[in-house]
Structure 1
Amino acid sequence: MDEDDAALALHALGWILSDEPRAERLLGLTGLDPDSLRASLGEQAVLAAILSFLTAHEADLIACATALDVTPETLAAAARRLEGNQRMDA
């Protein structure tokens, strides 16, 4: 697992959790509860799910990218790498 991608996913999670409805949507879509999310933050699949959550909703992806001062493409590429689906041009 790439440490930069993992760190980016954790920063993105912080952004997601800063908004209660968005945080509840993440938990609902991933099937995690707050305790299991906290306990599994070191797992690549969970980090991938966090970024995939953003890539599935363009408005959140763009807003998070702006907040983290990265491009939406950077978040999407990190999601692909964490999912194990990196393309050669990513």
Structure 2
Amino acid sequence: MRRVKLQIKRIENTTNIQVTFSKRRSGLIKKAYELSVLCDVDVALIMFSPSGRLSLFSGNKSIEEILARYVNLPEHERGR
């Protein structure tokens, strides 16, 4: 039996938004961690919840180090 493809659309109920964000945030952080370990890459993840709370994740280096590296890139390399 095949899975039904769900249409992605905005959630209207504010309670459901917060619940979905919390579940998806933990999954996204887990994937970012796995990517940083498996591929030895620098990952920085900055998220703001619908209520305005900040969530941060960084792999081996601090977020400040990763952002400084990004800021010091030439302009033409940032868009890639």
Q: TM-score, normalised by structure 1?
A: 0.27
Task: Give the structure with higher Rg (CA).
Answer: 2
Higher strand residue share: 2
Higher helix residue share: 1
- Greater RCO, CA 8 A, separation 6+: 1
